[in-house]
Amino acid sequence: MDMDRMPDQDPTNSANETGYACIQSYLKGLETSPGVYRMLDSDSRVLYVGKARNLKARVSNYSRPGNHSPRIERMISETASMMFLTTRTETEALLLEQNLIKQLKPRYNVLLRDDKSFPNILVSRETAFPQIKKHRGAKSEKGDYFGPFASAGAVNRTLNQLQKVFLLRNCTDSQFESRTRPCLLYQIKRCSAPCVGYVTEAAYAQSVRDASEFLTGKTTRIQEALASQMAEASAAMEFERAAALRDRIRAMTQVQTAQGINPRTVAEADVIALHTEGGQACVQVFFIRANQNWGNHDYYPRVAGDEDPAEVMEAFVGQFYSTREPPRMLLLSHGLDNPDLMAEALAEKAGRKVEVQVPQRGEKAELVSGAARNARESLARRMSESAAQSRLLRGLAEAFDLDAPPERIEVYDNSHIQGTDAVGAMIVSGPDGLEKGQYRKFNIKGDGITAGDDFGMMKEVLTRRFQRLLKEDPDRTSGSWPDLLLIDGGAGQVSAVNEIMTELGVEDIAMIGVAKGVDRDHGKEEFHRIGERPFALQRNDPVLYFVQRLRDEAHRFAIGTHRAKRSKAIGATPLDDVPGVGAARKRALLAHFGSAKAVSRANLADLKAVEGISDSMAETIYDFFHDAG
Residue stretches of the chain with pLDDT short of 50: 1-11, 258, 628-629
d(CA 437, CA 114): 8
d(CA 92, CA 96): 6
Domain that holds residue 620: 574-628
Q: Which DSSP helix (H) or strand (E) runs through 491?
A: helix 491-504
Identify the pLDDT of residue 519: 56
How many Cβ atoms are within 10 Å of 237's Cβ, its own excluded? 8
CATH number at residue 618: 1.10.150.20
Both 596 and 565 in one domain: the answer is no
Both 128 and 251 in one domain: the answer is yes
Please list, residue by residue across 467-488, b when 16 or more beta carbons sit within 10 angstroms of its beta carbon and e when fewer do.
Answer: eebeeeeeeeeeeebbbbbbbb
Residue 79: C-alpha distances to residues 14, 84, 329, 628 (Å): 14, 14, 38, 60
Question: Contact 465/503 with Cβ under 8 angstroms?
Answer: no
Identify the pLDDT of residue 349: 87
d(CA 464, CA 402): 26
**Is 112 contained in some domain?**
no
**Is 390 contained in some domain?**
no
Both 37 and 70 in one domain: the answer is yes
Identify the pLDDT of residue 628: 43
Give the contacts of 163 (CB within 8 A, at least 6 positions apart): 132, 170, 185, 190, 191
Residue 423: C-alpha distances to residues 155, 452, 553, 557, 564 (Å): 30, 11, 15, 10, 10
Residue 334: C-alpha distances to residues 94, 114, 366, 379 (Å): 19, 21, 14, 17
Both 550 and 414 in one domain: the answer is yes
d(CA 339, CA 356): 7
**Is 217 contained in some domain?**
yes
> 429 - beta bridge partners?
409, 434
Identify the pLDDT of residue 452: 60
Give CA torsion, residues 362, 367, 368, 371, to 10 deg.
Answer: 160
Helices (H), ranges, 352-490: 362-399, 454-472
Torsion angles phi and psi, residue 426, rounded to 5: -130, 125
Q: How buried is residue 447: exposed, middle or buried, by Cβ count under 10 Å (0-12/13-18/19+)? A: exposed
**Is 386 contained in some domain?**
no
d(CA 23, CA 293): 48
Both 424 and 565 in one domain: the answer is yes
**Is 372 contained in some domain?**
yes
Both 564 and 589 in one domain: the answer is no
**Is 399 contained in some domain?**
no
Q: Which of 234, 258, 282 lies at the terminal end of a domain, its last residue?
A: 258
Identify the pLDDT of residue 17: 80
Both 456 and 589 in one domain: the answer is no
Q: Which of 332, 363, 380 lies at the terminal end of a domain, its last residue?
A: 380
d(CA 431, CA 280): 14
**Is 563 contained in some domain?**
yes
CATH number at residue 446: 3.30.420.340
Identify the pLDDT of residue 312: 94
Tally of domains in the chain: 5
How many Cβ atoms are within 10 Å of 609's Cβ, its own excluded? 11
d(CA 499, CA 494): 9
Three-class DSSP category at 168: coil
What's the pLDDT tens digit per position in 448-471?
556 566 777 888 889 889 999 998
Taking the mean position of all CA atoms in its chain, how far away is CA 576? 29
Residue 478: C-alpha distances to residues 105, 106, 107, 140, 482 (Å): 9, 11, 11, 33, 11
**Is 50 contained in some domain?**
yes
Both 274 and 232 in one domain: the answer is no
Torsion angles phi and psi, residue 54, rounded to 5: -135, 105
Both 242 and 138 in one domain: the answer is yes
d(CA 82, CA 311): 22
Both 250 and 291 in one domain: the answer is no
Both 556 and 600 in one domain: the answer is no
Both 274 and 239 in one domain: the answer is no
pTM: 0.70
Identify the pLDDT of residue 420: 58
Give the contacts of 486 (CB within 8 A, at least 6 positions apart): 409, 410, 411, 412, 511, 512, 514, 547, 550, 551, 554
> 598 - beta bridge partners?
none
Q: Which of 217, 233, 258 lies at the terminal end of a domain, its last residue?
A: 258
Q: Measure the CA angle with vertex 328, ends 324 and 333; round to 5°.
A: 85
